[in-house]
Structure 1
Amino acid sequence: MSTHPAAQEPNVPLLQSKSLIQEEDDAPLSTRIRVESRKLWHIVGPAVFSRVASYSMLVITQAFAGHLGDLELAAMSIANNVIVGFDFGLLLGMASALETLCGQAYGAKKFHMLGIYMQRSWIVLFICCIFLLPIYLFATPALKLLGQPADLAELAGKVAVLLVPLHFSFAFQFPLQRFLQSQLKTAVIAYVSLVALLVHILVSWWFVSGLKLGLFGTAITINISWWVLVFGLLIYTVSGGCPHTWTGFSIETFSGLWDFVKLSAASGLMLCLENWYYRILIVMTGNLDNAKIAVDALSVCMTINGWEMMIPLAFFAGSGVRVANELGAGNGKGAKFATKVAVGTSVVIGVFFWIIIMTFDTQISLIFSSSEVVLKEVKKLSILLAFTILLNSVQPVLSGVAVGSGWQSYVAYVNLGCYYLIGLPLGLLMGWGFKQGVMGIWGGMIFGGTAIQTMILCIITIRCDWDKEAEKARLQIREWGEDTGDQH
């Protein structure tokens, strides 16, 4: 157990970096963009790969379940998308508090604080997992209450119970990933994700095709794969991979825990409000006339959006880490420039995918369905899909900037107002009031919720006093450092 982590911290005064900051400011714009892009992609590249790998595990699991039968596919889909999805966004959001704290501490050279922050996050998320456990244990009666058929509710409930180990893996994997990400150790995350994906493919084939364990076998495989992620990252961390930021388990983890809970709760609320928003879209569409075709077409669009969304989510991580690092180093101008480069790069990628969707709408949907009716409906929805992807190339990056700056509580209020007080009612009005069906629901939710939220985040970011934010970060690092006994 570490008795004084600060004693092992390298003595690197923050003032030593001032001359480097001045040199960067005096460099030509093209050079500054190239340097910042290299720093950004050092985080974004591996983050894209690790997120695609994690997403692919769920897709592979559903694919194996789909070959077992329609009921099995539906049960696994509900267990993954509704039950697991419900707490996934909340826990992921709560862990993003580490992007603020670890990123700023790393930028300020307070290396020992990163390990303490991660241990606090483990405690908070594990306790949260215990409180969320009834969602898994009582899934069957809850699904019946929501109107699901009895046989589907029973099977999905049994699958949900088997996914409890997956549920608890989030409490350790999310903080570990952000701990490593904040100190730019992104390659190890990508390598461990690759190993976990390969393990998942092999174990899925063995359990389902070899041992004939059926649907319950597919549920067990996703548990194994996610715990491979946890142990892979943990072994790297505690076995010398992070000598300055991991100094062992410390009793100081328990000091200042309540402030950490409040920041984690704000972060969780911010992200889960976004995560649940588009899940509500699917539920609302299921209540339309001719719902089967509408849901099938929407599912195709959401799958395409889900794959592409891994890129903006990687930029969410990248912009959060870069802004936090610069603010922690006291470089407000650097944080502002990092924001501009991240938003600009993500928008270029978003425009590229917007053109692809608008040009090849029918060809892309053929990957998922050969039904003429569904393909026709997807073609109608493709314009909304294209604009959703375009907006999502900006919004997650700005949310990442908010996380890096510690604005989670403000953004949570923005999300609540835009999504649930404007977007959702507008979607209901367009879908049923003006009888526009799924086009109306989705269009109302995009242009009423996501577009307004993006515009507000743009205004907040543009009007931000970055030097003031750097000073706030400095004071916060000092305050949290004092909570753990750091007197330096």
Structure 2
Amino acid sequence: MPNKELASPLGEAKVPLLLPPNHVSTTNEDEEEQKLTRKVWIESKKLWHIVGPAIFSRIASYSMLVITQAFAGHLGDLELAAISIANNVVVGFDFGLLFQFGVIGTAATLNFSWWALTFGLFGYTVWGGLENWYYRILILMTGNLPNAEIAVDALSICMTINGMEMMIPLAFFAATGVRVANELGAGNGKGAKFATIVSVITSLIIGLFFWMLILILHNKFGYIFTTSKVVLDEVSKLSLLLAFTILLNSVQPVLSGVAVGSGWQSYVAYINLGCYYIIGVPLGFIMGWVFNQGVMGIWAGMIFGGTATQTLILCWITLRCDWDKEAEKAKLHITKWSDRKQQLR
């Protein structure tokens, strides 16, 4: 009996007290993965609380134009071209002129005179609407090509599909700006960076889905708007550019949202207008008319010259950003504003 009692502690001592290093590192990696997954899930929930309602409201509003164009397209090619110009150009220019009009209008009573306000406001809203007019100019340029009716029909169908899908990245634009601003205001630079990564990746995944959908259904989605074989063939040719436009636009608005949330609006405004009108429009004109590539050349020049350049510059700025420094700046601004409020009281 005594021997057995002594044997049991010796037997227990044979069990290793320390785990092998490989096992410890594997356990730590698993814990890190679980933490990262949980952080992504929490950030995604915060993001979609803003993105979800924004997508619904934007698509519901834009659907009115899509349904109108779809009905007109089945009446005839000329009717489709007419309603397309009305929707994409006339209405689009109206949206540009009305951009942020209400916000400025509320401050009108504080300005020195109504006429000064009117001219100043007109210049401001026109400048802000130039970004919105970029793709409207594409349709105007296409209208001067040979066989303009078919070209405008096909391009307007692609622009309508692009505009409908664009409501999703625009919702991410708003949500990303809110999330980044909240994190920077709280002094959490790493949180702002993480919110940016989650937003960009989520929007890019959605963009890849629609990119693939357009490539698969390149000869089918045009039937929503018309049954004309000539127009459908032209839409099928343009579908490749449409797919890459959707893919680029899944990233660019999100990065613009990051810029808005970080307070870089003025820099990004100049980048946008420079890429669109100094690079994109001239390149589209050269490829369309000088190299005789038609609507494909105009659109390709404006996409790869304007939108792609803009996206690359925004990516470069975002990657170079010192988020901790931006968080310190945000906290400093908040402190200054709080001090001013206390002095006014």
Residue 216 of structure 1: aligned partner: none
C-alpha distance in structure 1 between counterparts of 2:149 and 2:77, whole Å: 14
Using structure 1 for the length normalisation, give the TM-score.
0.57
Match of 1:418 among 275, 292, 296: 275
* In structure 2, C-alpha distance between the alignment counterparts of 1:482 and 1:122, rounded to whole Å: 29
State the 1:86 CA deviation: 2.1
Q: Is the 8 A contact 1:93 1:270 kept in 2?
A: no
Quote the Cα distance in structure 2 between the aligned partners of 1:81 and 1:463: 37
Match among 431, 444, 452 for residue 301 of structure 2: 444
1:328 to partner: Cα distance = 1.3
Say if 1:349 and 1:393, in contact at 8 Å, map to a contact too.
yes
Counting only pairs closer than 5 Å after superposition, residues 136-155 of structure 1 correspond to structure 2 as none
Aligned with residue 36 of structure 2, among 26, 29, 33: 29
Count residues in correspondence. 309
TM-fit CA distance, 1:333 = 0.8
Write out per-residue CA displacement over residues 142-173 of structure 1, whole angstroms, 9 at most, x where no aligned residue. Answer: xxxxxxxxxxxxxxxxxxxxxxxxxxxxxxxx
Distance, in Å, in 1 between the alignment partners of 2:228 and 2:68 is 24
- Give the structure 2 partner of residue 327 of structure 1: 184
Deviations 1:95-144 (A, max 9, x none): 8xxxxxxxxxxxxxxxxxxxxxxxx655248999x98xx9xxxxxxxxxx
Determine the C-alpha separation between the residues in 2 that align with 1:91 and 1:364: 31
Aligned equivalent of 2:3 = none
How big is each residue's C-alpha offset from its partner over 1:176-228, in whole Å with a ceiling of 9 and x where there is no partner?
A: xxxxxxxxxxxxxxxxxxxxxxxxxxxxxxxxxxxxxxxxxxxxxxxxxxxxx
Of 373, 381, 397, which aligns to 2:254?
397
Unmatched segments (≥5 aa) in structure 1: 1-24, 96-119, 135-257
1:441 and 1:338 mapped to 2: Cα distance? 36
Q: Secondary structure of 1:28's partner?
A: helix
TM-score for the superposition, normalised by structure 2: 0.79
Tell me the amino acid that sits aligned with residue 363 of structure 1: K
CA–CA distance in structure 1, aligned partners of residues 336 and 322 of structure 2: 21
1:89 deviates by: 3.4
In structure 1, the residue corresponding to 2:224 is in which secondary structure?
A: coil
User: Percent sequence identity over matched residues?
Assistant: 69
AA at the equivalent of 1:37: S
Deviations 1:435-457, CA, capped at 9 Å, x for gaps: 00000000000000100100000
Instruction: Quote the offset at 1:32 in angstroms.
Output: 0.7
Give the residue type in structure 2 aligned to 1:350. Answer: G
1:423–1:449 CA contact under 8 A, matched in 2: yes
Partner Cα distance (1:457, 1:329) in 2: 24
**Once the 2 structures are TM-superposed, how far is the Cα of residue 385 of structure 1 from its aligned partner?**
0.2
**Change over 3 Å in CA distance of 1:378–1:60 after alignment to 2:** closer
**1:318–1:400 Cα contact (<8 Å) kept:** yes
- Give how far 1:361 is off: 0.7
Question: Larger RCO: Structure 1 or Structure 2 (Cα < 8 Å, ≥ 6 residues apart)?
Answer: 1
Distance 1:378 1:404, change over 3 A: same
The Cα offsets for residues 436-480 of structure 1, whole Å up to 9 and x where unpaired, read as 000000000000010010000000001011112122222333444
* Residue of structure 2 equivalent to 1:277: 134
Distance 1:302 1:415 in 2: 19
What SS does the corresponding residue of 2:130 show, helix, strand or coil?
A: helix
Q: Specify every segment of 5 or more residues in structure 2 that has no aligned partner in the other structure, as ranges.
A: 1-31
- Encode CA deviations 1:73-111: one digit per residue, 9 max, x unaligned: 88776565434422423544678xxxxxxxxxxxxxxxx
| Alpha-carbon distance in structure 2 between the residues aligned to 1:122 and 1:79 | 27
Per-residue CA shift, 1:382-413, capped at 9, x if unaligned?
00000000000100100111111111110111
Q: Please report the RMSD computed on the Cα atoms of aligned residues, expressed in angstroms.
A: 3.5
Cα distance, 1:366 vs structure 2:
1.2
Superposed CA offset, 1:43-82 (max 9, x none): 1111100101111234456678889999998877656543
- Residue 469 (1) aligns with residue 326 (2): yes
Q: State whether structure 2 residue 277 is matched by structure 1 residue 294.
A: no
Which position in structure 1 is the counterpart of 2:212? 355
Q: Which has the larger radius of gyration?
A: 2
Q: State the one-letter code of the partner of 1:344.
A: I
- Residue 55 of structure 2: which of 30, 33, 48 is its match? 48
Q: Is the 8 A contact 1:481 1:487 kept in 2?
A: no
Pairing of 1:241-280 with structure 2 (within 5 A): 272-280=129-137
CA, structure 1 residues 415+471, in 2 after alignment: closer, same or farther (shift >3 Å)?
same
Q: What is the distance in 1 between the residues matched to 2:46 and 2:246?
A: 24
Q: Quick check: 2:215–2:240 contact (8 Å CA) kept in 1? A: yes
Preserved contact between residue 47 and residue 179 of structure 2 (Cα < 8 Å): yes
Q: Are 1:433 and 2:284 counterparts? A: no
Q: 1:301 to 1:127 in 2, by over 3 A?
A: farther
